[in-house]
Amino acid sequence: MPLSQIEQLIKGVLKGNRKSIAKTISLIENDMPEAQKVVSLLYPHTGKAHIIGVTGPLGSGKSTLIEKIAKEIRKRKKTVGIVAVDPTSPFSGGAFLGDRVRMQDLSTDEGVFIRSMATRGSMGGIAKATKDAVNVLDASGKDVIIVETVGAGQTEVDVIKIAQTVVVVLAPGLGDEIQAIKAGIMEIGNIFVVNKADLENVDKAVGAIEAMLEMNTQKKDWKPSVVKTIATRGEGIVNLVEEISQHKAYLDSGAIHVRSRQRIEIELEEAVKRRLTEVILDNLKRREEFHELVDKILAKKTDPYSAAEVLLEGKLKKYKGN
Amino acid sequence: MTAEKKIRVLVAKPGLDSHDRGAKVVARAFRDAGMEVIYTGLRQTPEQIVETALQEDVDAIGLSILSGAHTILFPRIMELAKKKKLDDVLVFAGGIIPEEDVPALKKIGIAEVFGPGTPTDTLVKFVRENVWKKK
């Protein structure tokens, strides 16, 4: 793609042109050669949006809740970007991206941009390109960006790499009292929502979450809150959006710099890992030596760790012992 | 390391159909064939369909309709698609669409119309062979 075309795309994104945004996200998602250039050009224009990660188990009502949150935010005259992530089938490589079904009203709102993404092999609950899609929406001027992750147990924790405010959505009777206790989820959530609050055992669920939060002895300035909602009826939404605004205010008061630094460290680490894999690992995998070592491991003549050392012989000298 | 380019298809139900069994079967077939399928549910307006296609940067749109309103809705959809410059998107249709209506639909840019009972393999093959042709 000629530089002039890239620059046209960037210009379009910065103006908020929806087609440019869509095309740019595709470019990055397909890892086209121009993707890196595009991300570099857009990066200086990011950092203004409030990024909210919404995570939680399947069936908790995340999509419906996000639609309501977006509508409430729109009432406050702010623009919204939504990235909805669904899993890629490990067998076919395809994906059924159905989150928009719950967000039909928003498709023709000019102040909302929704993009559905498949994980495409990423192990976490978010796609590799999700962060870049968020950057594009940020650079395009969206005030709030909501990322809906695949609710799949411990991989939900991945959302912390992207979001400034993490909203965990649970529902009574999904076994979530136990789910909530799983390592990570209780520590990364800034706001906990018990959706479908018209169901039985809602107060039990709220109680269980509050009890777990009390057990987190880490001294934090932000005390995570628990909000009850009935997304399908639009109840509890104003309350929830208020809590989200409160968290934003807390972040703006200084905490955001610590969080930003943490997120960016992870981003840089991942960018380096990606290049290392491309440059070194792919190279090693193409060698005869690699396949000979696999044969040796199969024959129990060596083990994976020793084999790895053999492959990397001499290449790591520069870094060992530093 | 370049990621594999996936075919993104929007399966849309314009108008007031009350069930989407067929559309869902088609959507699943595309997914099983390795494509990313955006499914938006029942009762979509032409505006919603075209805007979704734009935001999702789809390569193809499959319109599923049972109500007979295709003579009104399809031209509206194609008009909006043209307006938003979605010229390189492959548009095809299926459902209850009489044979005699097909030539007029092809004239407005619907690449192919598939009747009920069309094997999903035929649909998958069609999409694979015809997407990205205009690009």
Would you place residue A294 in the very low, low, confident or very high pLDDT band (cuts 50, 70, 90)?
Answer: very high
Most confident among A2-11, A244-253, B73-82 (mean pLDDT): B73-82
For residue B42, give how far its alpha carbon lies from the nearest alpha carbon of chain A (Å). 8
d(CA A64, CA A234): 9
* Percentage helix, strand, coil for chain A under 3-state DSSP, each rounded to 5: 55, 15, 35
The helix or strand, by DSSP H or E, that contains position B10, with its residue range, turns out to be: strand B8-12
**Residue A145: strand pairing partners:** A51, A81
Q: What is the pLDDT of residue A182?
A: 62
For residue A245, give how far its alpha carbon lies from the nearest alpha carbon of chain B (Å). 27
Structural domain containing residue B16: 8-128
The answer to whether B28 faces chain A, any CB pair under 8 Å, is yes
Q: Looking at the domain assignment, is residue B46 inside a domain?
A: yes
Would you place residue A222 in the very low, low, confident or very high pLDDT band (cuts 50, 70, 90)?
Answer: confident
How many H-runs (helices) and E-runs (strands) does chain A carry? 13, 8
Would you place residue B2 in the very low, low, confident or very high pLDDT band (cuts 50, 70, 90)?
Answer: very low
Q: Please report where in the chains the tokens 């979605």 appear, as a residue.
A: B86
What's the rounded mean pLDDT across residues A175-202? Answer: 76
What's the rounded mean pLDDT across residues B86-108? Answer: 95
For chain A, list the domains and their CATH numbers. 1-45 (no CATH), 47-252 (3.40.50.300)
Q: Which of A20-29, A220-229, B27-36 has the lowest mean pLDDT?
A: A220-229
d(CA A151, CA A174): 12
Query: pLDDT per residue over A77-98, tens digit each?
Result: 999 999 999 889 989 999 999 9
The answer to whether A246 faces chain B, any CB pair under 8 Å, is no
Q: Looking at the domain assignment, is residue B45 inside a domain?
A: yes
ipTM score here? 0.93
d(CA A229, CA A280): 50
- Tell me the backbone φ, ψ of residue A92, rounded to 5 degrees: -100, -20
- CA atoms A251, A254, A257, A259: torsion sign: negative
Mean pLDDT of all residues in chain B? 93
Q: Is the confidence at residue A10, as pLDDT, over 60? A: yes
Q: Do A107 and B5 touch (CB under 8 A)?
A: no
Q: What is the pLDDT of residue A272?
A: 87
Contacts for A125 with CB less than 8 Å, ≥ 6 apart: A55, A85, A119, A149, A150, A151, A152, A155, A156, A158, A159
What's the rounded mean pLDDT across residues A103-128? Answer: 85
Q: What is the pLDDT of residue A124?
A: 61
Q: Do A113 and B3 touch (CB under 8 A)?
A: no
DSSP 8-state symbol, A235: B
How many separate domains does chain B show? 1
* Percentage helix, strand, coil for chain B under 3-state DSSP, each rounded to 5: 40, 20, 40
- pLDDT top residue among B24 and A181: B24
Q: Domain with B57 in it: what CATH number? A: 3.40.50.280
Q: What is the pLDDT of residue B7?
A: 96
d(CA A162, CA A134): 8
Q: Looking at the domain assignment, is residue B109 inside a domain?
A: yes
Give me A174's structure tokens: 């999904």
d(CA B27, CA B105): 22
Q: What is the pLDDT of residue A185?
A: 72
Q: Is the confidence at residue A109, as pLDDT, over 90? A: yes
Q: What is the pLDDT of residue A320?
A: 67
